Amino acid sequence: MTTAPNRATWRPLFLGALVAFAPLWAKAQTADSVFKTVKVGERAYALVGELTQRSPSNLGNNMTGGFIVADDGVVVIDSGGSKAGAEVIVQAVRAVTDKHILWVVNSGGQDHRWLGNDHFQKVVGARVIASDAGKQDQKARTFQQLDMAQRNVGERFAGTVAAYPDETFSRRYRLPVKGVQIDLIDVGGAHTPADLIVWLPQERIAFAGDVVFHERLLGIQPGLGLKWIAALKLLRDDLKPLIVVPGHGRPGPPERVIPDSLGYLEMLRDGAKNAFKAGAFDPVEAASAIDQSAFSDLERTVHYVSRVGLDYVKKRILEDAEGRKALWEQLQFALDGEPDPWFDFEEAAVDTRQFEALPS
């Protein structure tokens, strides 16, 4: 019988991750150092950020967003993970056009999709729009996301204020801009309950937000796996884009960009089903039976550790007693009052359907 790990075993794992993602950066960041601007259409540009964790160097912008230049102004997709993150997005836009930024679309409820809203609203003078579910998700996770982002971004997070969208919509909405058709499509849940696609039907370009992870391993929330598969099939089979701008990774044709997400999710679904048929006792045993080697090249924590070096991690954990104590205190503060998902199923809102056997 498999036994769930206790607090003493799983919290040190978080401590190791905290160390791995804790390099400090001193110089001011510019758009060029945070994003690579890639022209994907006549009017459309992707802003390709890092695949790694949020950090002082990327200002919380560890994602891919973008912008669209309409006749009467600019539409920005995702406002960034901090006030400083929003400022470098504006810099990237200004390197292409001087047109006024009219709209900012929050493509989901993740922090780097919306924590730059306040800067765009109060300084730039843009209106922010999200789906109804997106605004609800932002409100539900505001404190958690602010706390996490501040710890990851550090002093560069200064001045960031949580500000919600000015407008919301249900299911589908066409932005009122001139010269280009821009449709916002709420897919009903993917990486989060609130992801949407920004669709340019004339050029058949899809800014997919967190519906698509490319070159990076997915983070899957309970109850959303099958919805995510449906959203990816809607993108691939119904919209039939020529170019997909993912929420993480570089843009490209759908046959190159979508399989990192759809293939991985289908592999997990089918692998778990087969494992239970073969007698797996619980989800942990089923997951351990799935061969994930086909996706071993996707960005994950181990790749980041290999770049900073294991010696760095050893020094922070084994050789720096004061630093280790400080990191542990940070972890305890972050977890204070949070329910333990291994034991407090109801308080942690754990979807207990994951412990039910799949129908044969």
If you average pLDDT over every residue of the chain, what do you get? 86
pLDDT at 176 over 50: yes
Side chain identity at residue 38, one-letter code: V
> Can you list the positions of beta strands (E) in 43-170?
44-48, 64-69, 74-77, 101-105, 127-131, 167-169
Q: What is the pLDDT of residue 1?
A: 42
Q: Which CATH class is domain 24-256?
A: alpha beta
Rounded to the nearest 10 degrees, the angle between the axes of helix 7-20 and helix 301-308 is 50
Lowest mean pLDDT among 88-102, 291-305, 339-353: 291-305
Question: How does strand 127-131 pair with strand 167-169?
Answer: parallel
Choose between 2 and 98: higher pLDDT.
Answer: 98
pLDDT at site 25 = 40
Answer whether 100's CB lies under 8 Å from 130's CB. Answer: no
- 254-274 average pLDDT score: 93
Residue 12's contacts (CB-CB under 8 Å, 6 or more residues apart) are: none
What is the model's pLDDT at position 26?
A: 39
| Buried/exposed code over 37-76 (b: 16+ C-beta within 10 A; e: otherwise) | bbebbebbbbbbbbbbbbbbbbbbbbbbbbbbbbeebbbb
- Phi/psi of residue 134, nearest 5 degrees: -65, -45
Position 195 pLDDT exceeds 80:
yes
* 24 pLDDT higher than 80: no
Q: Which residue has the higher pLDDT, 175 or 221?
A: 175
Is residue 107's pLDDT more than 70?
A: yes
Domain boundaries defined on the chain: 7-19+270-344, 24-256
pLDDT in tens, 306-337: 545 667 667 767 777 877 776 676 666 556 66
